[in-house]
Amino acid sequence: MQITALRLARDEALVIVDVDEVLALFVEGFSSFAHAQGYELRLERFALFQNLYRRGEAVAAPLSEGRALFDAFFALETHDLRVAPGAVQALEGLAQCARVVILTNAPPASRPARTRWLADRGLPYDLVIGSGPKGPAVAAMAAGCERPVAFVDDLLANLDSVAEAAPHVHRFQSVADVRLRPMAPTAPERHARFDDWTLLGPAIAARLGV
């Protein structure tokens, strides 16, 4: 779905949520897929391709191999990703008083699989697939809203992009995989951080006033 097709209501609060490492345990699933293809994911830093190695080798795999594996994973395996604990219940509660939109950076061809994954996991919300920094997309969605807007992502770069493009939007950082949490660059003075959805859901609701 394109942003222009969302038909967002001006008088409705809005919650915009990322998928990978926010709603889905992406690294966990990608690691298993990579292992089956002869690679291993060594969680040495908060990055994806820089952590990917051919099994047993000391130098990270070339970026081209990482991207090819990434595209293959989205084409073949994302249906098995586990949902972040508490995410379904938290968004169900928020959806009672706010519009929920999923904004993910993923290969465009992954839309059918990603849509099915969301629906099958109890997350049947509108899906927007983008690329690059998310600030412009969030600003476009928030532009017509007269009620508060919240944005949730794991990546500091996307949160900073939203802060620049739509500074009135309430920003929340959340990292689902407990192994990645200590590695994730963060800026709590700019963006609230809640890695647990049982805390994140009420925090969003409080900022939205719902």
Q: What is the pTM of this model?
A: 0.94
Domain 3-25+83-208 class?
alpha beta
For residue 16, what is the enclosing H or E element? strand 13-17
For residue 41, what is the enclosing H or E element? strand 39-41
Between the alpha carbon of residue 40 and those of residues 52, 73, 114, 208, the distances in Å are 6, 14, 24, 41
Give me the percent of the chain exceeding a pLDDT of 90. 81
Question: Is the model's pLDDT at 1 over the cut of 80?
Answer: no
| Whole-angstrom distance, CA of residue 4 vs CA of residue 81 | 29
Q: How confident is the model at residue 75 (pLDDT cuts 50, 70, 90)?
A: confident
pLDDT, one tens digit per residue, over 2-23 is 787 888 889 999 999 999 999 9
- pLDDT of 191: 98
State both tokens at 95. Answer: 């959806």
DSSP output for 85-154: TTHHHHHHHHTTTEEEEEEEE--GGGHHHHHHHHHHTT---EEEEE-S-SHHHHHHHHTT-SS-EEEEES
- pLDDT of 108: 84
- pLDDT of 77: 79
For residues 140 and 3, the answer to whether their CB atoms sit within 8 Å is yes
| Mean pLDDT rounded to a whole number for the chain | 94
State both tokens at 173. Answer: 């950082």
Locate the domains of the chain by residue range.
3-25+83-208, 27-80
Question: Is the model's pLDDT at 80 over the cut of 90?
Answer: no
pLDDT, one tens digit per residue, over 197-206 is 999 999 999 9
Question: Is the model's pLDDT at 117 over the cut of 80?
Answer: yes
- pLDDT of 7: 87
State both tokens at 86. Answer: 């508490």
More confident residue, 2 or 176: 176
How many CB atoms within 10 Å of residue 186?
Answer: 17
More confident residue, 50 or 4: 50
